[in-house]
Amino acid sequence: MTTATKRTTGTEVFTFETTSDLASLRGPWKELAGQSDNVFATYEWLSTWWRHFGRNRPLLLTTVRDDPGELIAILPLYLATTRPLRVVRLIGHGATDQLGPVCAAVDRHRAAHALAVFVTEHLDGRWDLAIADELPCAPEPLGTAHLLDRSPTHVVALGSTGTTADAWLASRSAKLRAQLARNGRKLERLGAVTYRTADDPATVAADLDLLMDLHRQRWDPVGGSRSYAGREAFHHDIARTFLDRGWLRLRFLEVDGVAVAAAHSFRFAGAESHYQGGRDPAFDPCSVGLQLQRHAIRSCADEGVAEYRFLRGDESYKRRLADHTVTQHSVAWARGPLGTTVRAAIAGLPRLTRTQARWVPAPLAWGTGGTPRWGAP
């Protein structure tokens, strides 16, 4: 049910309360997402996130229109209250590697400006803090926003420049090429090496479970990972939907029919985004993670994909495989003493703490002794 409507110059604001109301924007949302080249802006991804993590909080969906009245962006926001703090956030934060307005790539600058105007001028004092994570635009159009973080996204340019898989590999360092060749031969001595992509709706759930198990095998020995923990149902829903849309790329490297590495990616609007992966540490001497990434990039090049994106994170393997880097920005607006204090506390957190915090789907919670921390409400 629409609970509030406001019209201002060039902007129409709707506040919704239920998931069924979210569906009222489904048609124009899909059209804009198709122009965004961002799979995380799709109605499928964000409505699924809301269904799993929205917890009946009030939505603040804002439609941004130009002077003739043409829709140019949707701002997918919601309001979360953890007393006494009221936080405005973008739907999808935590599990999502690129956030921001749902709009065509060419409209990101003015849509970001509309986001800043909406937060600072049209929320009528209902908030203390507004956080926008992983925006693909520069911070200049965001007005008074305080920069919290910059995060790199490493990218391989492929189809748009006609780059072949062989040309891409030849452009990488001699050391990397030698490592892949040497360890590839080592892997072949262990058994029959095959690559498989999940494409069967009847087995995709088991394949995703296998990937998550390999992810845990990779990360549990070094402190664990929260990429899937507590979000398994969400990712199973996404896998089913994305497989049906043709967007899911769930790849495995197998030795004698046993998966030893896995890669979880999404292909959308001419780009493939590598979301997560996993591997059996027993096969690390064979560089099975790198071998599978090479296979994925080769597949993309052969199939005319324009870009292979490693998404956020500055891991060394991404730098070795990619040919350029783009930067995303996380920002916050504060209102009043409470919002200003919490924003300052967040800005002062170590980078690793802020990075880990993005995986929590709730806003902010209060730790012991009144110390603000990232966490579930």
Residue 370 predicted with pLDDT over 90: no
Residue 126 confidence class, pLDDT cut points 50, 70, 90: confident
Residue 362 confidence class, pLDDT cut points 50, 70, 90: very low
Highest average pLDDT, of 80-89, 149-158, 241-250, 332-341, comes from: 241-250
pLDDT digits (tens, 9 = 90+) for 250-304: 999 999 999 999 999 999 999 999 999 999 999 999 999 999 999 999 999 999 9
pTM of the predicted model as reported, rounded to 2 decimal places: 0.89
- Please report the sign of the dihedral spanned by the C-alpha atoms of residue 269, residue 194, residue 226, residue 238: positive
Residue 371 confidence class, pLDDT cut points 50, 70, 90: very low
The pLDDT, as a whole number, for residue 15 is 57
pLDDT digits (tens, 9 = 90+) for 103-119: 999 999 989 999 998 89
- The mean of the pLDDT values for the chain is 86
In sequence order, the β-bridge partners of residue 332 are: 131, 146
Residues 6+ apart with CB under 8 A from 28: 63, 71, 74
Cα-to-chain-centroid distance, residue 217: 22
What is the token pair recorded at 248? 């899911």
Residue 135 predicted with pLDDT over 60: yes
Q: How far lies 302's CA from each of 25, 199, 264, 283, 298, in Å?
A: 36, 18, 19, 27, 6
The pLDDT, as a whole number, for residue 139 is 74
Helix (H, G, I), strand (E, B) or coil at 27: helix
- Residue 85 is given by DSSP the state E
Percent of the chain with pLDDT over 90: 63
Distance separating the N- and C-terminal Cα atoms of the chain: 25
What is the mean predicted confidence (pLDDT) over 317-336?
Answer: 93
29-38, 158-167, 183-192: which has the minimum mean pLDDT?
158-167
The H or E element that residue 327 is part of is strand 324-334
Beta-sheet pairing, 307-312 with 193-197:
unpaired
The pLDDT, as a whole number, for residue 350 is 60
Cα-to-chain-centroid distance, residue 377: 22
Do 45 and 36 contact (CB within 8 A), yes or no? no
Residue 369 predicted with pLDDT over 90: no
Residues 6+ apart with CB under 8 A from 255: 187, 190, 191, 192, 193, 283
What is the mean predicted confidence (pLDDT) over 303-325?
Answer: 93
Residue 19 confidence class, pLDDT cut points 50, 70, 90: low
Residue 248 confidence class, pLDDT cut points 50, 70, 90: very high
190-204, 209-223, 251-265: which has the minimum mean pLDDT?
209-223
Query: What are the structural domains, with CATH classification, of the chain?
Result: 4-144+335-374 (3.40.630), 155-326 (3.40.630.30)
